Structure 1
Amino acid sequence: MKTIGEVAAELGIGAHVLRHWEDAGALLVPRDGNGYRVYDEAAVERARTVLTLRRVGLSLTEVAAAVSPTKSAAQVAVRAKIAVLRSEVRQRQRAIVFLQHAVECRHRYLDDCADCAAFVRGA
C-alpha cells in the first residue's frame, strides 16, 4: 500500500493532480477505515493509465469515459478521440504542404500564387 504522496512522486505529478482526477471521476481510489486514500497496486496502475491517457491528449471527461467499467463505453470514447486526432493529423499535414510550398514558391508574394490561393480557399 502506498500513500498519495508516494504515488504522486512515483508518477512525477503532484498529489493535488491525483485528487483532481478522483474528483473528476477519472480515477477510483479505495479508502481505508479512516477515509485515507490507499493505493494498492491496482490503484497505482489505474493512476498510470490515467496519466498515459492524459499525456496522449484525452481530457479528464474523455479519460473518465475511457476507463469506464464497460468495454463498449470505453471503446466509444477512445474511438472518438482517435477520430479527432486523425483529423488534426490531416490538418497538420495540409499545413506542412502549404508551408513547404510557401518556402519554395517562386512568387514574391503568396497572394500572387495560384497554388497558395487554392490552399487559402480550402481547395
Structure 2
Amino acid sequence: MAASVGLNVDMKSSGERPEMPIGELAEHFGLATHVLRHWESMGLVIPYRTSTGHRRYGLADRYRVAAIVQAKAAGMSLDDIRAILTAAAPAERNTVLQHQHDALSRRIAEAQAALALIDTALGCEHGDLASCPRFKAALAERVRCP
C-alpha cells in the first residue's frame, strides 16, 4: 500500500495524470478522436472503459500513442506498427523493425543526396544551372549509363 501511495505522490508531483479521456489525449497529441478510435479498432491501443463506457487512457496508453505517432512520422504503416507492438516473439518484431530500419536508412540517404544537390545549386553563379560544372559533377553518377 505504501508503494501505491508513493506512486500517486510521484505522479502528482511530476504533473502526470493517472488517466485522461479521449478528447484530452487526442488534443495532447494533435490527433482527432476518430484516429484514436480507429487505432483502438486495430488493437493498437486498448483504453480502460469506465462503468459508463467512457474511454480512459493511462500513462502506458500515452506511451503507446507516442510510439505510434513517432512510427507514423517515420513512414511506418499501421499494420507494421501493430506487428511491432503486438508481436508474440522478439524475432517477429525484429523482422519488421529491420525492414523499417532499412527503408528509413534509404530514405535518409536519398534526402541527404537531395540536400547536397540543393546546396550545390545554391552556390552556383551560372545563369544556366544545368551548365554549372559543380552541379553537373553532383549529378554525374546518375547521368552515367551502365
Return the TM-score normalized by structure 1. 0.70
Instruction: Assess, with a 3 A threshold, how the Cα gap between structure 1 residues 27 and 104 changes in structure 2: closer, same or farther.
Output: same
1:100 counterpart residue number: 119
Instruction: Tell me the CA shift for residue 117 of structure 1.
Output: 5.7
- One-letter code of the match for 1:93? Q
If you compute each CA radius of gyration, which structure gives the higher value, 1 or 2?
A: 2
Equivalent pair of 2:74/2:104 in contact (CA under 8 Å): no
Q: Which of 105, 110, 115 is the equivalent residue of 1:86?
A: 105
- Could you list the runs of 5+ residues in structure 2 that have no partner in the other structure? 1-18
2:40 counterpart residue number: 22
Q: Considering only aligned residues, what root-mean-square deviation do their CA atoms show, in Å?
A: 3.1
More displaced stretch, 83-92 vs 102-111: 102-111
Report percent identity of matched pairs. Answer: 23
Normalising by the residue count of structure 2, what TM-score does the alignment of the two structures yield?
Answer: 0.62
Q: What letter is aligned with 1:76?
A: T
Q: Which structure dedicates a bigger proportion of its chain to strand?
A: 2
The C-alpha deviation readout for 1:65-102, integer Å capped at 9, x for no partner, is 22124332222222211111111121122223333344
CA distance in 1, matches of 2:129, 2:27: 53
Distance 1:73 1:29, change over 3 A: farther
| Runs of 4+ more than 6 Å apart | none
How many pairs are equivalent? Answer: 123
Give ranges in structure 1 of 5+ residues lacking alignment. none
Instruction: Judge which range, 60-69 or 23-32, deviates more.
Output: 23-32
Cα separation, 1, equivalents of 2:115 and 2:59: 44
The CA distance in 2 between the partners of 1:75 and 1:12, in whole Å, is 29
Aligned pairs for 1:43-122 (under 5 A) are 43-70=61-88, 71-102=90-121, 103-104=123-124, 108=128, 110=130, 115=137, 118-121=140-143
Higher relative contact order (CA 8 A, sep 6+): 1
